[in-house]
Structure 1
């Protein structure tokens, strides 16, 4: 497997396009996009765990009733959640895309992101849809789905299956309202692999737990989040009809790349936090502890200040709900500036504060918690909590 250029158009038979429709009058960025395959696809999706779900999720679930789709339409700037005529407008968005692409409405999936509670200006979407020009440029669409993101997020890989070259790529958006249990964000993955719908869904559901469900920015789970995978089979490989390690590794690679991009681009964030538990008794214990630390507002604030306040690590572990022996825990911080051990057997060590400050001032900082209880390791990802997070979310609707 190797990384390649592109995102959702890296695989054979996919086109995409984006346009500025004016969903938010105060913005001039492209805000409406479509992704389409030359042929019908096997499709799988996972959705937010938030009980309050946006209208596009309901329409997408309905259209995925047969496990197939051929296109996705996405808008940014308006979530179409808790909004007047939500499902009616989501359906009209799908109909407008279907008309553009010459498809049946039920073969188009819908995703929205942006402000909650405001009616989707469907007329501007319907008017602008006809201006979309399909190309091989994934970047335009990756940018069009951004809201408070500061960086475009796309990645792709190439690998071999049954002697055939297969491609898999994706784009994502996410910066705030990022917390696990699906949802986390919007993510769209395309592949030219031939794979059954049931296996595709199994792989997606399994891998999302190890990627998008292991990131946290602010503890909020959005109303709109979903991850969709389309597989059109144009690579010509023998159809995958049972779990396949090679395909799963490729899907995990793309989804992990996108998850880490989201965590590092958290609203107002100045650094990526890598939270790793090692020598745990089992995966559940390790994941619970690593996520608790990555999600801790106090710890995230300490990382913003480059403060080696390791007590906040033990504190977050202690309220996580996972059982462990705090008398066995060692804690260290590391980055490309070095490593400093700050606690051993649950007790503080004398350490070089200047070195610790230097280590924690880097763009990527890792905290490692050694439980000395087994041989399982899990990593989760988050970001620091800065002044800008409050500024961004204090006037998000304006």
Structure 2
């Protein structure tokens, strides 16, 4: 996405501890056989915080603990995360274990228990090896250096093939404010808000309610606009901590730099969302669908997400098949208001449908385009001014293999 604000700069060597006053760590504690599986993210001071959570009615114990703590305080100073086990559908023992993780992390840092968020990801329905986690927490030593952030981002992964990190700086009230993020997510991805873990840090000064407002305003355009497989997880969430150490005047909606802050937060969340879509289980291609001419932005996003979520579109992209009929069908069943006789569809820069009718095109040229790692589909409804983006990935043989043997 192109930014309208020249003061926004992408930070090279980005990491979750880039903002002032944050530190991180990650280790192997024994949940997984070899890979890192326990991580912690810490602010030097209690930070105003906000969160968005899965819409799945079945919600995991760590998510419930985090929601309750954040509702009580509006603040967070640390987040303890494990991978390899979701601690979901684990009953009273699961809730006790999530609280034990929270308490042990808080006691190690010398802070109140309800200032610690808890997140878990992995297999559903298996009890946590809580003794291993408690022992691991005692060994976590967060640092503000790059290594701690890398260790954190790697320790939260499950079937991901790469860690996902981004960071931007922006000038607010003459002060440099940094917003950074890291995320995990590869399969069971269909956020509403759901199916991934995202952590965002910033040294901006902003109240909890206004931070939640800013986060909510960007979620639909970023994390809620990605899909890998249409499944909505029991666990996942996005948490933002803002510790105020950059020294700017407190951000509120009528602050002259409010829009530039929200735009920077949007860029961080969009980067992470696209990285998740691109790293879908077994994926070989990122699919971006842009919809214009809809009657509203929300309907445009709904159509775009329907297209990238269509198994038939996803398999056609995997097979380098310019089967525009599948795209048109997905637009049609999206539930949006449209006139089929006005629709225009492009794959890359090639128009394949105009005013609802097929257009002659070079099949060979489109096959070559569809071999690229990033595929763009454009749909123009010619109904209104609404526009929206969504991201997904192709559906491959490897996706089936990975998920057929996930527990083995």
1:143 equivalent in structure 2: 154
Query: For the residues of structure 2 that align with 1:151 and 1:233, how far apart are their CA atoms?
Result: 31
Alpha carbons 1:274, 1:294 under 8 Å: kept: yes
TM-score, with length taken from structure 1:
0.97
Aligned twin of 2:300: 286
Match of 2:80?
Answer: 73
Q: 2:194 aligns with which of 183, 190, 199?
A: 183
- How far does the alpha carbon of each residue in 1:289-319 deviate from its partner, in whole angstroms, 9 at most, with x for none? 1111011011101010010000001111111
Query: By how many angstroms is 1:242 displaced?
Result: 2.6
Deviation at 1:281, TM superposition (A): 2.4
SS at match of 1:44: strand
Instruction: Give the drift of 1:7.
Output: 2.3
Equivalents in 2 of 1:159, 1:242: separation in Å? Answer: 17
* Kept after mapping to 1: 8 A contact 2:86/2:124: yes
Q: CA deviation at 1:342?
A: 1.2
Secondary structure of the corresponding residue to residue 142 of structure 2: coil
Please point out which of 13, 27, 37 is paired with 1:19.
27
Q: Does 1:37 align with 2:43?
A: yes
Q: Is the 8 A contact 2:73 2:115 kept in 1?
A: no
Query: Within the alignment, does 1:311 sit opposite 2:325 as a pair?
Result: yes
Q: Distance in 2 between matches of 1:21 and 1:198?
A: 36
The answer to whether 1:365 aligns with 2:375 is yes
Contact preservation (8 Å) 1:184, 1:212: no
Which position in structure 2 is the counterpart of 1:102? 110
8 Å contact kept, 1:155–1:254:
yes
Aligned partner of 1:297 among 283, 303, 311: 311
Correspondence 1:198 to 2:212? no
TM-score (norm 2): 0.94
Kindly report structure 1 stretches of 4+ aligned residues shifted beyond 4 Å.
none
Matched length = 392
Q: Residues 90-110 of structure 1, C-alpha deviation per residue, up to 9 Å, x if partnerless? A: 000111211221222111110
- Residues of 2 paired with 1:242 and 1:317: CA distance? 36
Between the aligned partners of 2:104 and 2:221, the Cα distance in structure 1 is 36
Q: Secondary structure at the match of 2:389?
A: strand
Separation in structure 2 between the aligned mates of residue 38 and residue 133 of structure 1, nearest angstrom: 13
Are 2:128 and 1:120 aligned?
yes
8 Å contact from structure 2 (residues 298, 388) kept in 1: no
TM-superposition CA deviations, 1:369-390 (whole Å, max 9, x none): 1112223321110000000001
Distance 1:317 1:6 in 2: 37
Is the Cα–Cα contact under 8 Å of residues 50 and 211 in structure 2 kept in the other structure?
yes
Conservation of the 8 A alpha-carbon contact between 1:156 and 1:168: yes
Structure 2: give runs of 5+ residues left out of the alignment. 1-7
The residue that corresponds to 1:247 in the other structure is: 261
Q: The residue matched to 1:323 in structure 2 has which SS?
A: coil
- Given that residues 87 and 127 in structure 2 are in contact (C-alpha distance below 8 angstroms), is that contact kept between their aligned partners in structure 1? yes
Q: Take 1:241 and 1:304, find their aligned partners in 2: how far apart are those partners?
A: 45
State the shift of 1:323 in Å.
1.4
Query: In 2, distance between residues paired with 1:144 and 1:314?
Result: 41
The aligned counterpart of 2:57 is: 51
| SS across alignment from 2:89 | coil
Partner of 1:333: 347
SS at match of 1:239: coil
Helix, strand or coil for the counterpart of 1:389?
helix
Q: 1:184, 1:213 within 8 Å by CA — same for their partners in 2?
A: no
Mapped partners of 1:134, 1:323: distance in 2: 51
Give CA-to-partner distance per residue, 1:43-65, whole Å, 9 cap, x none: 10000000000000110011112
Give the Cα–Cα distance (whole angstroms) in 2 for the partners of residues 156 and 217 of structure 1.
24
How far, CA to CA, are the matches of 2:195 and 2:270 in structure 1?
13
- 2:206, 2:242 within 8 Å by CA — same for their partners in 1? yes
Superposed CA offset, 1:137-177 (max 9, x none): 31111111000000110000111111111111010000011
* CA–CA distance in structure 1, aligned partners of residues 120 and 217 of structure 2: 24
2:298 and 2:386 in contact (8 A); partners too = no
Q: SS of the residue aligned with 2:102?
A: helix
Q: 2: CA distance between counterparts of 1:14 and 1:178?
A: 28
Question: Which moved further from structure 2: 4-13 or 37-46?
Answer: 4-13
Match of 2:89 among 82, 95, 98: 82
Contact 1:35–1:71, Cα closer than 8 Å, also in 2: yes
Q: CA deviation at 1:209?
A: 1.0
